[in-house]
Amino acid sequence: MSEDKSRFVVSADWVEKQLGAPEFKIVDAAWYLPAQKRNGAAEYAAGHIPGAVFFDQDAIADHSSGLPHTLPSPEFFATEVGKLGISDTDTIVVYDGPGIFTAPRVWWMFRIMGAEKVYVLDGGLDGWKAAGRPLETDLPEPKPATFRTRFNRDRVASFEAMREIVATGSRQIADARSAGRFAATEPEPREGMRSGHMPGARSLPSGSFSASGHFKSLSELRQTIADAGVDLSKPVVTSCGSGITAAIITLALESLDHKDNKLYDGSWSEWGGRSDTPVETGPAGPGKV
């Protein structure tokens, strides 16, 4: 692997060589917004990487939160991924359709739940298919496994924590939504929700970290983050629309050895969906740090 590439992102060549190896697990984590007109479960059934299991981000979630695909309890997570045949000691590769879109969220989930050998497939399933690599349509029947959780609660920011962060500026806020949603020049995809951003937030659109589904080099990631006004020597909390693409920024931060970062799981679905939270509009600028 190149020294200028993330240690958490693996190539299709490497993955194809590992297929069928013991304790090597492939996870399809594709999820889409309605506007994308794609269905992750349907695409999985139509053809997936051999041996891959489907991780439903809406099902393996906390359904009591009132928010979309909230992080589940460690106990529920362990039960569900155990049914998928995944152990915390396995080598786990997560992929999505386009590449570097929704897979980082599940990569993050596995890591904060205690798995250590977790990676994201560069190029996604779209790239895998374009290269003519093998696919299967058979639905696997994995042997149940035991996933022993070691939940790192410190990596998750609650709504109460975000109120304090916004009030005190104790952490930099990195927002993965589009620049238009951040600035309130385009609407949120969820009906009735305000556009704009949390006071003090910086705009780091999730698409700026990859090109054609491939994660950018470490030097490019570092420049992207610096250009947005985020200081890698200081604490960061990542956010997005519903907690999924925020993990792309988290992946970039971790790839650059940034350790003091959290992900705001409720993200804009929670903050923007309330009437008692402060919201700013317009692009982030020197006067809005």
Supply the residues annotated as catalytic: 240
Could you tell me which residues are beta bridge partners of residue 120?
9, 94
How far is Cα 165 from Cα 262, in angstroms, rounded to an integer? 11
Name residue, tokens 């994995």: 142
- Residue 62 in 3-state DSSP? strand
How far is Cα 92 from Cα 74, in angstroms, rounded to an integer? 18
Q: Can you state the angle between helices 246-255 and 218-227, rounded to 10 degrees? A: 120
Task: Burial-class residue 149 by CB neighbours within 10 Å (0-12, 13-18, 19+).
Answer: middle
- Residue 85 in 3-state DSSP? coil
Q: Distance of CA 287 to CAs 74, 229, 254, 282, 284, Å?
A: 41, 12, 28, 11, 8
Q: What dihedral do alpha carbons 235, 240, 243, 248 form, nearest 10°?
A: -70
Task: Name the residue type at position 112.
Answer: I
**DSSP H or E run through 14:** helix 12-18
